[in-house]
Amino acid sequence: MPLPLITDDSLFPDAPTIAIKQLEAVWFQVGGTICNLRCHHCFISCTPENDKFKFMTLQMCRRFLDQAKELGAKEYYFTGGEPFANPDMIDILELTLSKYGPATVLTNATILTEEKLTRLGQMATANEHHLEIRVSLDGYTRDMNDPIRGPGTFDRAIAGIKALVQHGFQPILTITRTWNDCDEKVLKGFVALLAGIGYAQPRLKILPSIKLGAEVDRTSGYTETDRITHDMMQQKDPAQFLCHTSRLVTDQGVWVCPILLDSTHARMSDSLQGAMHDYPLRHSACYTCWQHGAICSNNTTSCTTANN
């Protein structure tokens, strides 16, 4: 008999807590839960119709950037939903890069217009702070990607990646592990694909699937064995957890991290200053962080083997 699935109403009561050491990175849910795609593994179930979290405006972002600066934050991440669906996105990036620090945008690269690409290229060269682009793609063929991300998404994302490379970017490709093959074979497939569109020595990042949102219907959710105990935390350096050094800001306040956006228990405060306190790792998704470390960071998978 399968183990009962864990929902937001059945959190582990005696979970260990994690302190925030120093606010180093701030994540912006700048695209809300609105996305032009409707991927079957999206752990916050973004779709064109899902406006549970709305776009963040330039004014909202400026308020949180000021708070972050006061707290000593060093870098900024912009996610969604699809950030480039937000009409303020280019202005938000220009503000961040010119006055606050380095920025990373997580995009599906399917709605990048020539005008946006040109402005992105200009701001990347005009500012001392670095602009990083991360593109999600889940297969090195149409047959591998499109069943997960939707018909036609492979061709559209490849066109977006090619255009980014032509505008001087070296995007990080993020790939959710949805295959049964060994990683090496998949990495080799991606390297060959990207070489064919002019992106030599690509930067690749493999992510574990997070069993929340739409992913629960595609595969399965977490069970009661997926939890962090006090003993398990003894074996881990807290620096391995994103919530030790960062917070997520949204149009509805501050959350502990981007993974738990759909959990009302993960809302911490109206302000970043109010969210600088310990957090209990009582959600089953925390177990994925315990297994895989800071999965949201920009660290990439080594491609040495895949290049051979």
Is position 108 an interface residue for ligand SF4 (rule: CB under 6 A)? yes
267-269 and 253-255: which strand pairing?
antiparallel
Residue 243 binds ligand SF4, judged by CB under 6 A? yes
Q: Which of 134, 167, 211, 283 binds ligand SF4 (CB under 6 A)?
A: 283
Tell me the closest approach of the beta carbon of residue 47 to ligand SF4, in angstroms. 7
CB of 141 to ligand SF4, least distance (A): 18
- Cβ proximity to ligand SF4: between 68 and 306 the closer is 68
d(CA 268, CA 255): 5
Region from 51-59, 86-94, 183-191, 240-248 binding ligand SF4, contact rule CB under 6 A: 240-248
Sign of CA dihedral 208, 164, 161, 49: positive
- Per CB under 6 A, the list member of 15, 39, 133, 193 interacting with ligand SF4 is 39
Does 80 contact ligand SF4 by CB under 6 A? yes
Of residues 284-303, those binding ligand SF4 (CB under 6 A): 285-286, 289
CA distance 207 to 226: 18
161 binds ligand SF4 (CB under 6 A): no
Q: Which is nearer to ligand SF4, 27 or 199 (CB)?
A: 27
By beta-carbon proximity to ligand SF4, the closer residue of 92 and 260 is 260
254 part of the interface to ligand SF4, by CB under 6 A: no
Angle between helices 89-99 and 114-126 (to 10 degrees): 0
Classified as helix, coil or strand, 273 is helix
- Beta pairing partners, 34: 47
Distance, in Å, from the CA atom of 163 to the CA atom of 155, rounded to the nearest integer, reads: 12
Which of 6, 15, 35, 60: binder of ligand SF4 (CB under 6 A)? Answer: 35
Nearest distance, CB of residue 158 and ligand SF4, angstroms: 15
Q: Do β-strands 246-250 and 253-255 pair in parallel, antiparallel, or remain unpaired?
A: antiparallel
| Token pair recorded at residue 84 | 């480039």
- Using CB under 6 A, which of 96, 136, 245, 250 touches ligand SF4? 136
Q: Which two tokens stand for residue 121?
A: 């290229």
The yes or no reply on residue 46 touching ligand SF4 (CB under 6 A) is yes
Q: Which residue number, 65 or 261, has a Cβ lying nearer to ligand SF4? A: 261
Cβ-based neighbours of 107, under 8 Å, separated by 6 or more: 82, 83, 84, 133, 134, 135, 136, 160
Helix axes 114-126, 153-166, angle to 10 degrees: 40
CB of 103 or CB of 135, closer to ligand SF4:
135
Q: Which of 16, 30, 76, 81 binds ligand SF4 (CB under 6 A)?
A: 81
User: How remote is the C-alpha of 96 from its chain's centroid?
Assistant: 18
Q: How far is the CB of 289 from ligand SF4 (least distance, A)?
A: 3
Cα–Cα nearest to 37, from 145, 144, 141, 150: 150
Q: Which of 75, 129, 95 is nearest to 246 (CA)?
A: 75
What type of residue is 211? K
Shortest distance (Å) from residue 272 CB to ligand SF4: 16
Question: Does residue 157 belong to the site contacting ligand SF4 (CB under 6 A)?
Answer: no
Q: Which residues bind ligand SF4 (CB under 6 A)?
A: 35, 37-39, 42, 46, 80-82, 108, 136, 241-243, 256-257, 259-260, 279, 281, 283, 285-286, 289
